[in-house]
Structure formats: structure tokens, C-alpha cells
Structure 1
Amino acid sequence: MDFVLVHGTTQSPAGWGRVAKLLTAAGHRPIAVDLLTPAGLQFEGYVQHARDQYDGERPVVVAHSGAGVLLPAIAEALDARAMVWVAAYIPDFAGGRSLRDEAPALLEPDWIGVDPAADPAKASEFLFHDCDPETERLALDSLRLFDPAVLASHPAGAAPEIPSTVIVSTRDRTLRPDWMRRAARERLGVTAIEIDAGHCPHMSRPAEISGILTGSRRSA
């Protein structure tokens, strides 16, 4: 099976490295797309940019954090068989609000305004606090700010018909876990899988994430 891995707004594709190795070892093909593009690209351009980096059929598309804004559109463009939201923002399909509109309710207050790419100490505090020292070093090396205004301001479209799995990190210091649980139920109609991790479980709990992706664990 193919897995298209979409990085969030604070990491490069390197953040998926450990999960990708585990998926490969299990006989799957992971493709970590890179969303870094020229300035001024519109929403549809990011979707096409991800599409251009994949040459297979019917993958599982996995997104982290702010890339949840793009996940439904990328999944539809790739005719995905499933979507997986890893500590990822779930858009307001019914109300049409943007990530920026929902930020006050979604984000932990102390995270607002933090640029982890410019402050490794803040990155460790908010993103990688549950990582062991070696993992933390790798995670810090993967930092890269990717925060185009078009993603924050893009209004949500219609709810996708593609099946979803939602992974909520119970020790997330950036996105509020209670908000994420509720959004999974109300916006996608699923019960989230909860794991004991911070905002980047693909770094701190790669085996657990890989197990969920390959079906070793499934949402209720």
C-alpha cells in the first residue's frame, strides 16, 4: 500500500523519516511530499504540487498539524482510499470557517505567536517535549517554518466522503486535545484514536503511528 505523508507547518518532510522506515520495512511505500513552493501560490497550487510528487494509485493520505487544511483536497486529487489526521486540524466543513477563524478555540494560548523554527527551546517545549534526547535532536533538525497565509485563511469546503482516521495526542501542547476529540466526532463522524504523546507523535511514537496506519490499530 502507498502512504502519502504530508508535513505540517513547522517541519520539513524529514519529520516523517522514522515512520517512513517502518512502513517500508512492513512492505509499504511511503512518499513524503514537500509543500515548500514559490511564494504567492494559491490553495489549489499546493494541492497540485502534492499531486505532482505522487505516481501511484489510491494511496492513504496522512497529514500532520496545519496540513489538515489541505488533507481533504489532496486526498480527493489522489483518489485516496483513506485519510489519516495525525494531530491535525480538522476543517469546519459545515460552517466554512478558516483555521484563522478557529485558532482562538483550537490553539493552546501559550502556543499562539510562537515561531519554533526560530527558537529551538520553544520547539522542544511545545512540539517535542515527549521525545528522548536522540529523537529530540532529529526533530529539531527537521524544523522548517511553512505557514503561508493562504492556508490559514482558506474557508473549509464540503465534508469529504473518504474514510477518516483521527489520531489525537493527549499531551499535545499546541492543539487542544478536547477540541480535536470533538471535531473528530462532529465533523468526521469518527471516534479518535488517542495516544500518549505530544504534538509530533510521528517523531516520538513512530512505531505506534506506523501500526495505526497499517491497520494494527483501528479507530472505534
Structure 2
Amino acid sequence: MTFVLIPGAGGEAWYWHRLVAELERRGHDAVAVDLPAGDDGAGWAEYAAAVVAAAGDLDDVVLVAQSMGGFTAPLVCDRLPVQQLVLLNAMIPAPGETGGAWWENTGQSTAQAEFAAAEGRVAGDGIDVMVDFFHDVPDDVTAEAMDRGDPAQSMTPFTQPFPLDRWPDIPTRVLAGRDDRLFPLKFQRRVARERLGLPTDEIPGGHLVALSRPGELAERLAAYAS
């Protein structure tokens, strides 16, 4: 099987580079996708097309979607030979829901604030990249990410309704980082149960677990594929 890796906001294949190396070390193929995230003319259809183009003529695909990639991944399941879909710290959309409405509809901000309080932190307004994303990422990897600059993300997809009326008939796993500060584990468990009727597996690490714990993530994904 080949892992096709869909990034979250910012859409950069670079996010997966440490995981790709770990998967390849274990004898697996992996394709990390670049999305047209900075293009105001690109929405969910264009994101899905980018995934299909990157996958080419692959057979036996395990599709892995990080964060915002949870909106894109279901849209390609009828266009690729997807054997399994893994939602990794992912947004799980409801039919007709926009990416912008998802946050309030799911109660994300309340969950984030409650988790911060449980950790003895005070959640600020919005997202603090260093606190919410890079808190458990190694310093050298964080420095490389900062040197690359903040990836562009158009708001176009956040205005578009999720176009499917039901979840694809594909075996789906939900995998959450137990240290995720943006989408806390308890929150992810609730959303997955309410929207997909699925349990949530957990793994050590925060929202950017592919950067912070790529080896452990690779082991889990390899186990899923087997």
C-alpha cells in the first residue's frame, strides 16, 4: 500500500517530510501532497484535484488527512483506489457545512479553552502558533518551519459547503494526538462519535504530530495498513 498524505491549512507537503522518511525506512511508499492553499480561486474541488493528481495511478491507497485535510479527503475517495482513510487530528465535516462554520458548530473554541485551563494555561484569542502548534516539536524542526515562513492559506475553502451528503463507504479510522491543544483529545472523541459514530484512537503528540513524533506515527499507520 502507498500512503497519500494530505496536509492541513497552508497545504504544504513539507509538513509530512519527517513522516515520509520514517515510512520509507519501514519499507512503505508515501506521497505527500501540496495543495493550492494560497490560491483564492481554489476551493474544495481544486484541493481534491491536487490530491488525485499527486496520487497518479497508484493502487491500494491509504489516505491520511491532517486537520483541515479532513474536508478534502472524503472528496477523493471515489476517484482513487482508497483502501482506508485515516483522519489525523482532523476536522470532520457535516453535509453542507462550511469550513468557517465548523469551528462554532463543533464548539472548538470552548474545548480549546477548557483544555488550556486543565493544563494551567490561559487560552488567548485565536491561535498562537508556537503555543498551540509547535509546543512539542523539536527546536531544530521548529526553526526550519519558521525559516520557511508562514504558509499562505486562502479563505475560499472556508466559505464553501462540504458537498457530500454522506460519508464515503470507506473504512475510516480517527487518530488523535493526546497532547493536541487546538483539537483536544476529548473534543475529537466527541466529534468523531457524533458525526461518524466512530471511536478515536490516540497517540502521543500535539496537533503537528507528524513533525513532533514521526516515528510513533509511522508505526501506528503501518499497523493500520497491515
Please, what TM-score do these two structures have when normalized by structure 2?
0.82
Structure 1: gaps (5+ residues): 115-121
Which one-letter code corresponds to 1:102 in the other structure?
W
Find the counterpart in structure 2 of residue 62 from structure 1: 64
Is the counterpart of residue 43 in structure 1 residue 44 in structure 2? yes
Kindly report which structure 2 residues correspond to 1:203-218, keeping only aligned pairs within 5 A, or say none: 203-215=211-223
SS of the counterpart of 1:84? strand
For residue 145 of structure 1, what is the aligned residue in structure 2? 152
Q: Deviation of residue 183 (structure 1)?
A: 1.9
Contact 1:57 1:79 in 2 (8 A): yes
Displacement of 1:208: 1.2
Classify 1:168/1:149 alpha carbon distance in 2 versus 1 (closer, same or farther; 3 Å): same
Distance in 1, matches of 2:175 and 2:202, equals 6
Q: Are residues 1:195 and 2:203 paired?
A: yes
Matched residues in 2 for 1:191 and 1:33: separation?
27
Deviation string, structure 1 residues 186-216 (Cα, Å, up to 9, x no partner): 3223211112321111111111111111116
Partner of 2:16: 16
1: CA distance, partners of 2:80 / 2:224: 24
Q: Is the 8 A contact 2:36 2:50 kept in 1?
A: no
1:103 maps to a residue whose letter is W
- For residues 147 and 85 of structure 1, the distance between their equivalents in structure 2, rounded to whole angstroms, comes to 22
Deviations 1:154-193 (A, max 9, x none): 2352111111111112222212332210122232232111
Question: Which region of structure 1 is more displaced relative to structure 2, 181-190 or 145-154?
Answer: 145-154
Shift of 1:84: 0.8
Q: Deviations over 1:67-110 (max 9, x none)?
A: 111111123321311111111101124xx333322212124364
Matched, 1:136 2:142: yes
Distance 1:154 1:176, change over 3 A: farther
RMSD: 2.4
Which residue identity is paired with 2:46? G
Q: C-alpha deviations, 1:30-79, integer Å up to 9, x for none? A: 10011026431242222112211112123111111111111111233213
Q: Which residue of 2 aligns with 1:77?
A: 79
Query: Are residue 172 (structure 1) and residue 192 (structure 2) matched?
Result: no
Check whether the contact 2:36–2:42 (CA below 8 A) recurs between aligned residues: no
Q: 1:32 to 1:202 in 2, by over 3 A?
A: same
Unaligned runs of 5+ in 2: 114-122
Describe the shift of the 1:173–1:39 C-alpha distance in structure 2 as closer, same or farther (beyond 3 A).
same
Tell me the distance in 2 between the aligned counterparts of 1:152 and 1:23: 35
Identity of aligned residues (%): 27
The aligned length equals 209
For residue 136 of structure 1, report the CA deviation from its aligned partner.
Answer: 2.2
Scaled by the length of structure 1, the TM-score of the pair is 0.84
Assess, with a 3 A threshold, how the Cα gap between structure 1 residues 151 and 59 changes in structure 2: closer, same or farther. Answer: farther
